[in-house]
Every structure is written in structure tokens, then in C-alpha cells.
Amino acid sequence: MSYQRPKGTNDILPGESEKWQFVEETARLVFRDYQFNEIRTPIFEHFEVIARSVGDTTDIVSKEMYDFYDKGERHVTLRPEGTAPIARSYVENKLFGPEHTKPYKVFYTGPMFRYERPQKGRLRQFHQIGVEVFGSANPATDVETMAMAMDFYRQLGLSQLRLVINSLGDKETRQNYRQALIDYLAPHEAELSEDSKRRLHENPLRVLDSKDKRDQKFVADAPSILDYLTPDAKAHFETVTSMLDALEIPYEIDSNMVRGLDYYTHTIFEIMSEAPKMGAQATICAGGRYNHLVEELGGPETPGFGFALGIERLLITMEAEEVVIPALNELDAYVVGLGQETNLEALKVVQAIRNFGFSADRDFMDRKAKAQFKSADKQGARLVLTLGETELAEQVINIKSMASREEKQFPLADLYARFDEIYDEMTTKMFE
């Protein structure tokens, strides 16, 4: 009997996980510059938290949830996204309280779960990095947060990106536009896809997001939501675009762009990769403003802004742009032990080296000298320390710098007392 991982999931193995660490480390560094702090919420939530926030009629809630009843008959679900759980946490922990800095800025990273049809860049367990800003209605928050996403991608070495924005306006905008869209689409109802026929009555804006060819020709000529913005919504959007201009951040406006979650208001955006070979799954980051979500979950009226980006799709993009990822797991010292008798001393030597704050590895398989040197080389060791039975008897060890090929013998007592100095001595030689 052998087992396979569930469909739409991945094992992230060494070789690949270094890339994940690089991406996550870079996110932490960039987000710190913008004063975001990390938040960690549970992997599962009450079904209602997601249904209420994301919207009952969205694909995520109606088709893609990993929900179940636990042994206590509670309706719970694996989280499909990060914003609703964090808004729940914001309300539950009263993060709007006077003791907290405003706006309240957090980031997260972790797995999300959606029952989707797996394909390249589309998984059932995928991973997001995301941020949320609570408490600021200032358009500068929209712009700064979008700028941060672009900044993050630039730091990773990506350049072939496109920022696309739109506004969904406020509640009044949505009501007026909703009616205009129904009036426009209703005469074509029979020609729409099955999904869009249903959406037309439940949630007509969702038709604009349809990936079905039958719908797309109607979507192309649909009325523009930007023509329905209320004066307030229009002013907000104009400030956002003028601030993007002031920061010289290029963007496009796509008035047909909507998002797959119901909580958005005003500014929404997507970042697309332009790299060739990206295929259909080219959206690597999406987000926007959500001014009523916190209230919806029982909190005080609190504007919000956030985004989420898919790590798997980001890694595909980095590959498409041929980004070189710096090696993170470098080896300072490899200890070659020759003969069973050196087993204990080799153990002590690697531990001592690590206690000095260096990375160290050794052979455990009692292999021949040649095989051990080959491992040292393959692992990119800077120093190779050789301990044979003769050295052990004389209480010395041979240390070789792989860069300068220089070799020198040291008393073991010296190594235990001052390996840090020996390391400096042996590694700086290479620049002479």
C-alpha cells in the first residue's frame, strides 16, 4: 500500500522550500519598513465568519469551501482567505481600542483552502502572504499599500508587472450600478452561461468576473461602474490616481474589474505578471478597500484596506522572469572523520563549531575519504576539517580552506578554545 497526497496539494521539499523562505523573509523585511506587524489566526474558522464576509453567493462560499461539522456539531471551515478571519480577530480582540496605534497594520502568511479544479497556479491548498490596514479612510492608505506590494515584488527582482485598478464606489454607487447592469444584461440573459444566468439575479457584478467565453463579449460592452460613482466615491478614486501619479507608479484602469469577494468598496486592484509563459493564472496579487466588513462582523464602523498574494503563483512568476535566488543554507565547516574511532571526536568537533555560531556538518555513514570530500564540496563547505586516527592520537586536526586550497594543522584544544579566530584566519587568507 502506498499513499499519495490529496489532489491539489503540494509537498514543499528542500530545494524548493529555500525559495519560500526567501520570499517570506523579503516580505517581512519590506513590510517592516512600512510598520506592519505579524498576525496569526487559526487555520479553521466558524463557517459564518467566512460566509458573512466573503458573501453567500460568491464562488468561494457557494462552491469552494472545505467546511464540515466537527464532533461537537459546530459548522466550521478551513479558511479560504485571510481577510475575514483577521477582521473577526480585530473585532474579537478589540484591536480598535485606544491603546492601539491607528491605523492598525498587520501582515500574515500561511495556507488557504479552496475546493477548485487544480491546474498550474491553482491549488486546493495554496499559500498567501497578505496585509490588512484598519482604521484609515485616507486614499493615501490605498496608495501606500499598493506601493508596498509593488515594492515587495521589486525587491524580489521582478519587473514585468502591471498594476490594474478600479473603483467599486460606495453602497449607493453599487445600488445604482447594479440596476444599470441588470438592465443591460437582462435582454441577453438566454445567451449567458448557466453560472451567469444565476449571478444576474443574485449578484450581477459577479458576471463581470466570468471566465466563460459566452459572457465575455457582453462584459466587454457593459456599462462602466466609473460612470456611476457618487461624488464622494469619485473624489476618493481621483485622489488615489493622482497620488499614484505623484509617486510615478504606472497603472491602468479597468472599469470591468471586480473581485471574487463581496466585501470590497472603493479602490480595488490586481497585479498581473507580464512575463511570457505565465498562462491564464497571471494575477499574482489582489486586494482593495473594504469599508463595511468590520461592522458586518459586529465591530465599530472601521474602514479597511488590504491585499493577498499567492506564493505558488509568485514562484512561477519568478521562474518565468529567471530570478536568481541567493543561497541561504551555506556551510561553514565540514568535518571528515576517517575510521570508526573518530566518531565521538567528530561529534564533539561539529557541536563545538556550532556553539561558536557557525554551521557545520559531518559524515555519519563511515564512508571513505573520497566520498566525504565530495560531500563537503557538494554542500559548498568553506572549510574542511580532517580527523584521522593519527590526528586523533596526536590530538590535532587538519583544516583546509576550500577557496585558497591552503591547509594547516591545529591542536584540537585550540579548536575548542578559539574556533572563531581559526575560522577568520583560514577564510580571510583567500583575499591575500
Binding site for ligand ATP (CB under 6 A): 81, 114, 116, 121-123, 126, 128, 260, 281, 283-286, 308-310, 312-313
Q: Check whether 110 is labelled as a binding-site residue.
A: no
Smallest gap, in angstroms, from Cβ of residue 299 to ligand ATP? 22
Smallest gap, in angstroms, from Cβ of residue 303 to ligand ATP? 19
Q: How many CB atoms lie within 10 A of CB 393?
A: 9
Q: Check whether 264 is labelled as a binding-site residue.
A: yes
Give 166 or 372: the residue with its C-beta nearer to ligand ATP.
Answer: 166
Smallest gap, in angstroms, from Cβ of residue 429 to ligand ATP? 48
Give 116 or 151: the residue with its C-beta nearer to ligand ATP.
Answer: 116
Give 30 or 381: the residue with its C-beta nearer to ligand ATP.
Answer: 30
Smallest gap, in angstroms, from Cβ of residue 271 to ligand ATP? 8
Give 36 or 263: the residue with its C-beta nearer to ligand ATP.
Answer: 263
Q: Check whether 83 is labelled as a binding-site residue.
A: yes
Strands 161-167 and 252-253: parallel
Contact 44, 76 (CB under 8 A): yes
DSSP label of 120? T
**How far, in whole angstroms, is CA 10 from its chain's centroid?**
15
Q: How many CB atoms lie within 10 A of CB 59?
A: 19
Q: Could you give the C-alpha distances from 400 to 38, 334, 430, in angstroms and in order?
A: 43, 10, 11
Smallest gap, in angstroms, from Cβ of residue 280 to ligand ATP? 8
SS3 per residue for 217-282? HHHHCCCCHHHHCCHHHHHHHHHHHHHHHHCCCCCEECCCCCCCCCCCEEEEEEEEECCCCCCCCC
Q: Check whether 263 is labelled as a binding-site residue.
A: yes
C-alpha span between 337 and 372 (Å, rounded): 8
* Position of minimal CB gap to ligand ATP: 310
Contact 40, 107 (CB under 8 A): no
Strands 383-387 and 333-337: parallel
C-alpha span between 68 and 196 (Å, rounded): 28
Give 128 or 375: the residue with its C-beta nearer to ligand ATP.
Answer: 128
Contact 19, 315 (CB under 8 A): yes
Nearest to 396 by CA among 347, 342, 331, 343: 342
Smallest gap, in angstroms, from Cβ of residue 80 to ligand ATP? 8
Smallest gap, in angstroms, from Cβ of residue 52 to ligand ATP? 16
- How far the first Cα of the chain sits from its last, in Å, is 59
Give 112 or 243: the residue with its C-beta nearer to ligand ATP.
Answer: 112
Q: Check whether 321 is labelled as a binding-site residue.
A: no
Q: How many CB atoms lie within 10 A of CB 130?
A: 25
Tell the residue number behind the cell numbers 464562488, with chain if given. Answer: 59
Give 163 or 415: the residue with its C-beta nearer to ligand ATP.
Answer: 163
Smallest gap, in angstroms, from Cβ of residue 261 to ligand ATP? 6
Q: Check whether 132 is labelled as a binding-site residue.
A: yes
Q: Check whether 302 is labelled as a binding-site residue.
A: no
Annotated binding-site ranges for L-histidine: 81-83, 114, 128, 132, 259, 263-264
Known binding positions: 81-83, 114, 128, 132, 259, 263-264
